Amino acid sequence: MKNPHAILRQSVRSDAAGTWRVRYAVRENTLTPGRISNDEWIHQIEVTGRGWVVEVDGEIVAFAIGDAATGSIWALFVDPAHEGQGYGQALFDVMLNWLWAQGLQKLWLHTGPGTRAERFYRRAGWVDCGLTEHGEIHFEMTNPHTP
């Protein structure tokens, strides 16, 4: 991460407002408020998966959530005002390392075509498995640590 004052840490319940602020601030892969509940978010970071945030001066500017039950990259978002600082890559790396450590052999995610996220995942080696019924790209990655 380029900012020496940025802190990457595991997400906790009290991070909800900050992560929702970031989630609704993004310009691509937008989400309608209320489509995902706080209870679903808490379930993802405490029960089926784990989340991480990047804070700058006490404010959450990026977050990621990985679901170890399904192998889904559930979320990876950076506040547009803080893009280009390496926060997305740092979150991506810690999330993938944790998911692989859970023994998963394959991960998957969906993202919009023609987005910066699509380019990010392609550069990271994710395999395009076609479009979902909602027109998103279904990407998969096999555990590179498996013999």
CATH number of the domain residue 53 falls in = 3.40.630.30
Spatial distance between the Cα atoms of 71 and 86, rounded to a whole number of angstroms: 23
Tokens representing 84 are: 């280009």
Domain total in the chain: 1
| Assigned domain for 128 exists | no
Spatial distance between the Cα atoms of 49 and 64, rounded to a whole number of angstroms: 11
Over its length of 147 residues, how does the chain's per-residue pLDDT go in tens digits? Answer: 898 899 999 999 999 999 989 988 877 665 455 566 778 889 989 999 999 999 999 999 999 999 999 999 989 999 999 999 999 999 999 999 999 999 999 999 999 899 989 999 999 999 999 999 989 999 999 998 876
pTM of the entire predicted model? 0.90
| Assigned domain for 15 exists | yes
Amino acid at 110: H
| Assigned domain for 12 exists | yes
Q: For residue 98, what are the domain limits?
A: 7-104
